[in-house]
Structure formats: C-alpha cells, structure tokens
Structure 1
Amino acid sequence: MSIHISQTDEIQAFFRQVAGLDSEAGSPRIKQILIRVLQDCAKAIEDLEITDDEFWRAVDYLNRMGVNQEAGLLVAGLGLEHFLDLLQDARDRSAGAGGGTPRTIEGPLYVAGAPLSNGYARLDDGTDPGTVMYLHGRVTDTQGNPIAGAIVDVWHASTQGTYSYFDKSQSDYNLRRRIVTDELGYYKARSIVPSGYGCPVTGTTQEVLNALGRHGNRPAHIHFFISAAGHKHLTTQINFQGDEYLWDDFAYATREGLIGELQFIDDDSRAKQLGLNVNSFAELRFDFQVLRAIEPKSEQRSSRPRALQQL
C-alpha cells in the first residue's frame, strides 16, 4: 500500500523551514524555487514509490556527473535546453515578436573571448587535415536590410568531433572566431568541414541515455551567436543536409530553417576567386535575419556561466 505524507501540514511546514521561509535572510527567489523542488521531489518519491536504493543511486549519479562536468550535456540530451527554446518561441509569438532565423540550443562547449576580425577570419590553425570549408553569408534585419558591424561569433568541432579548450591537443581558440560584418552585412570565414560527435561512451550522460534506449550522437554542425546593436541576440546553429543524424540528434537542436547544404567544389578558378590555395573545397552560404530588440536586455546573450580561455 502506498503511503503519502508529503501534503500534510506537518511536512509542508517542515519544507517551508528547510527552504528558509521562516527567515528574512537569504534570497526570496531561491526560496521560492527550492520549496517547489522539494515538494515536487517528495510527491514523485511517493507517487512512483521510489525506493531508498533508487534514491541513493540518483545521489551517487549526481556526484559523478559533477565530477565529469556533464550537467550541460545531460540537460541537452534530456531535451530541457530545447524546451527552453520552445518556451521562448511561444513567448515571442505571444508578444508579436516572432520571425527571423530560428534560435536553437547553445550547448555546453562555447568559450568566451575568441579573436575578433573584421569581415573575414580563418578559424582553423592548419593542423586538421579535413576538407577546407569556405563559410560565408549575410546578416540582415527581417526586411532584408544589411546590418553592418554585427558580430558573428562562430565555433565548431574538429574532424574528430572535439572542441578546442576542452580538447587540450588543439591550439587556443582553434575553430573559434568572432567576425564583424562589413558595410553590406557580410561575414566570411575559412575553416574545415566539422564532424559530428557522440557523448563519451563511459560518461554519465550516455549512462542515462543507455537506460532510456537512446544513442548519444549529434550531426555535424556549426554554432553561432549573432549580435548587433538594436537587435535581439540570436543563439543558433547550422546542421548539414544529408547527415545521418540530421533529424535524429540526441540534443534535439535540428530545426527547420537551420539546415545548410555544403557544396563540394573541384574548381581551381573558384578556389582562387575565394583566396583558397587548394584544389577542392566545400562552400557553405548561410544568411541570418535578426529581429529588432524590443528592450535593451534582449540585445545581450544569456548570462549562463561559460568557459573563458586563460592565455
């Protein structure tokens, strides 16, 4: 027989005490959130008849996940980061502020402070033998007017599916740059075609995915922050048409309107036109449309904690 005590006056008073609601000190917002978490956890323990062994295995899991620093990976894999995008989309529609290039998840692998270039940047350090990629496009408003001086903050994985800073074998800020758009709103970059990646097979995120009968793979993709004065900050990424995991992304980041098509080109004249000293390469054009900012706060990206390269 199931026993339920969480809704009794005695337990509710206990939770209020635990959450500090009987004290003027502390953060009212943290208290508001914590008591809800306590109440919901207690109700789940009762309703699902979670055993003591299951509870303490979950505590052990949280300890191990913290050591692995995989919390950001787990919230992506459980769809919570995608849910935040869907919720913000709904808020925008409610406020009559929809449109433009779709947002999608940032993921856990951004590093602040990448070198800043005007108009053009080379992202790779020349050590990755991958196919050369010429990436370019334009930043405009929703009426198609070019936005000069926008910052295109771009980062992606190597051909091994790893990211600089987290992969210590790569040079500082490899495959990471910030590009200021020119007077016509264009950005241009040389890099290499990235690969997708999978969660560490022995990591805590894959441990949960295994229990759910799911894989931990992502399609190849390129991340972007787009920011411009007077316009809403955009966090997004491009996935590649034809990728095996395009619509089977464990992080649920693929969205209509965010699929780019790599054009593999074997044309010396086109390569020379683009300043590429190669015989063959891949070209990808992707344009971004950003919305007018309703309030100054929306011009800034979220203040979530991020890595900062120490040089």
Structure 2
Amino acid sequence: MDVSFVKTPEIQQLLDRAAGVNESGGNPRFKAIMRDLFQSIMELIVRHDISESEFWLAMKFLADGAGEIGLIVPGTGIEHFLDLYMDAKDAEAGLTGGTPRTIEGPLYVAGAPLVEGNVNLSTDPDEGTQVLHMTGAVTGPDGEPVQNAILHVWHANSQGWYSHFDPTGEQTPFNNRRRIKLGADGRYAFHSHQPSGYSVPPQGATDQLMQALGRHGNRPAHVHFFIEAPGYRTLTTQINFGDDPFAADDFAFGTREGLLPVPNRQGDAAYIAFDFQLQRAHDAADEGFSARSRAEAQPAVENA
C-alpha cells in the first residue's frame, strides 16, 4: 500500500473532522497546522508500514522522554533547523551580517545577578580547572559600540553540570551564570572556571534515541549567550571551544562557522577574545526573547 491511501475520501474526511476544519470555533491557522501534522503522521505510518505496536512504543518513548525534550529537539537537528530557517528568512528580506545565531539549549535560568566590570562568573571552587578569561566588544551593524547592552552568559562546570540542574546538589545558585551590564564602549570582560563538554544523561531518552540512530550524545565545551540592547535584535548564540574533540561534531548541531574560537592556553589560564555584532531591531518583537519556556530563580543582587 502507498501513501495514496491517505488521499482517499474517507481519510480526508477524518482529517477534516480531527482538525475541526468545518467547526465555527477555534483558530483557523492552528487548524491548518494540525491538519497538516496529522496527515504527515498518517503518511509516515503508511510509507514505512509502521505497526500498531511500533506506534504505541513511539508514544511511550515521547511520554517517558518528556523531561528531556530540551535535549531531544536539538539532538534531532530541529532546533538547528529553526536557526537555518530564520537565517533564510533574513536573507530573503535582505538582512545579512551579524554574529550567527545558534541554539539556546534548555539550561538557561532567569534571574542571574546583574553586574558590571570584569566579572567573575564562578561562585564555587572547581579544583584543577583552567581559568577562562573572555573579553571583547558588542557592536552594531556599522561597527558602532552598542550602548546599554546586557550580556547574559552561562556555562557548565568542569564536570559538565549546570547550576540549578546539577544532580549532585553541590553548586550554589547562579554559579557560572551572570548578566553583565555593558558601558558606553560596548566592551565586556569576564572570567570563570573553564567549562567541560558533556554527554546526555546515560540511558535517558535522548541517549536511547542517539544509540538507535548510531550517533553519540556528546557536546563540546561551550559558553552560552543572550545579548539584548535597546534598538537591536536580541541575539541568542554560543561559542564552542575550537580545540575540543567534539567541536566539529556537536550532537546538538550548535557548531556554526564563526563561533569556534580556539582558546589561547597559558599555564592555568585560557584566553578568548571574541566580538559580537548585533543587527538592528525592526520592531519591538526583535528586542525581546522567544516564547520558549525557561527556568527562573529568585533574582539576586551582587557586586562585581
């Protein structure tokens, strides 16, 4: 049997009813999206002759793996696809340049201390790690310093754990997380205990999926950023350490050209100089964050 079965009147009527196409209530765009989704699933079942048992095993995987959806989405390339799609829409609109966007990941926490100056991100000790020193400037499309910018930065510790998500419970709140208020020159500087790469939770849903695909679940050492400023488009990006073994083979597809600086390692220190370039906002929505659900903790106040 081929997918033409899905085009039969009986199945098409089923799709219309399931999506509420002929109902007066509801959202028309949402109905169209859901109808297309339902039809795609039905066509997938026919094309690959998916059995009833296989279907319900897939539903069980999705239900059991709901807690790892923030890893499954980047691991399947969908989050990177969203970046590529937004890039293509920008290019179509004639918007080019600026630091590349890349995946956010699931581990941002709102409410980090807002600080100024050369900031120490690390509250906790992390023995045996190099100290990462990162400096640079935030400019606009014409090279102008971006004033009143806030740079959100967060990364893992040397064990690959993020504060607020560390199963050992050993990290204090907002360890390796800060919001940095930049001055009129648009320059930033911070130092911290260098992060390590990590893998997805062993035997978890994402690990099971990667094994079934014959893939690994490793991420290189990296640092995440949001940069927001009045009049500019908020940037979501991250840098992967260019000398990490997984720098060019990130399971989450976070690696992008222009986001792979190689640290200058000197003794117990590692230095990265990296400049960010923002695009101008075209409306208020450009200055905001996406509607993605994010963790939030009690705001903290701290001196630099």
Gaps of 5+ in 2: 300-304
Supply the distance in 2 between the matched residues of 1:264 and 1:148 (Cα, whole angstroms).
31
Q: CA deviation at 1:103?
A: 0.7
1 or 2 for the larger relative contact order (CA 8 Å, sep ≥6)? 2
> What is the identity, as a one-letter code, of the residue corresponding to 1:231?
Y
Whether contact under 8 Å (1:2, 1:49) holds in the other structure is no
**TM superposition shift of 1:206:** 1.1
The structure 2 residue matched to 1:126, chosen from 105, 124, 127, is 124
Aligned to 1:22: 22
SS in 2 for 1:58: helix
Q: CA deviation at 1:12?
A: 1.3
Give distance in 2, aligned partners of 1:260 and 1:3.
47
Show the 5 A alignment for 1:281-300. Answer: 281-300=269-288
Report what 2:221 is aligned to: 220
Match of 1:275 in 2: none
Aligned to 1:108, what secondary structure does the other structure show?
coil
Amino acid at match of 2:100: P
Contact 1:119 1:186 in 2 (8 A): no
Q: How far is the alpha carbon of 1:147 from its aligned partner?
A: 1.2
Q: Tell me the secondary structure at the aligned position of residue 207 of structure 2.
A: helix
Maintained 8 Å contact 2:124/2:171: no
Structure 2 SS opposite 1:297 = helix
Look up the SS of the partner of 1:127 in the other structure: coil
Match of 2:261 in 1: 260
Say whether residues 1:308 and 2:284 are aligned partners: no
Deviation at 1:261, TM superposition (A): 2.2
Q: Percent identity?
A: 47
Counterparts in 2 of 1:2 and 1:258: CA distance versus 1, 3 Å: closer
Q: 1:56 corresponds to which residue?
A: 56
Letter in 1 for 2:287: E
Q: Number of matched residues?
A: 296
Q: What does 1:159-308 correspond to in 2, within 5 Å?
A: 159-167=158-166, 168-266=169-267, 280-308=268-296
RMSD over aligned CA atoms reads 1.5
1:71 aligned to 69, 86, 109, which one?
69
> 1:136 Cα deviation (Å)?
1.5
Matching residue's letter, 1:118: E
Match of 1:144 in 2: 143
Contact preservation (8 Å) 2:134, 2:191: yes
Displacement, 1:189? Answer: 1.1
Say whether the 8 Å CA contact 1:157–1:195 is kept in structure 2. yes
Contact 2:153 2:226 in 1 (8 A): yes
Secondary structure in 1 matching 2:236: strand
| TM-score normalized with structure 1 length | 0.91
More moved, 22-31 vs 252-261: 22-31
User: Which whole-Å CA distance do the structure 1 matches of 2:149 and 2:188 have between them?
Assistant: 9
Question: What secondary structure, in the 3-state scheme, does the structure 2 residue paired with 1:259 have?
Answer: coil
Residue type at the aligned position of 2:136 = G
Deviation for aligned residue 1:94: 0.9
Q: Structure 2 counterpart of 1:101, which letter?
A: T
List structure 1 runs of 4+ shifted beyond 4 angstroms: 1-4
Cα deviation code 1:4-43 (max 9, x no counterpart)? 5321222211221112223222333322221111111111
What amino acid does structure 1 have at the position aligned with 2:53? Answer: D
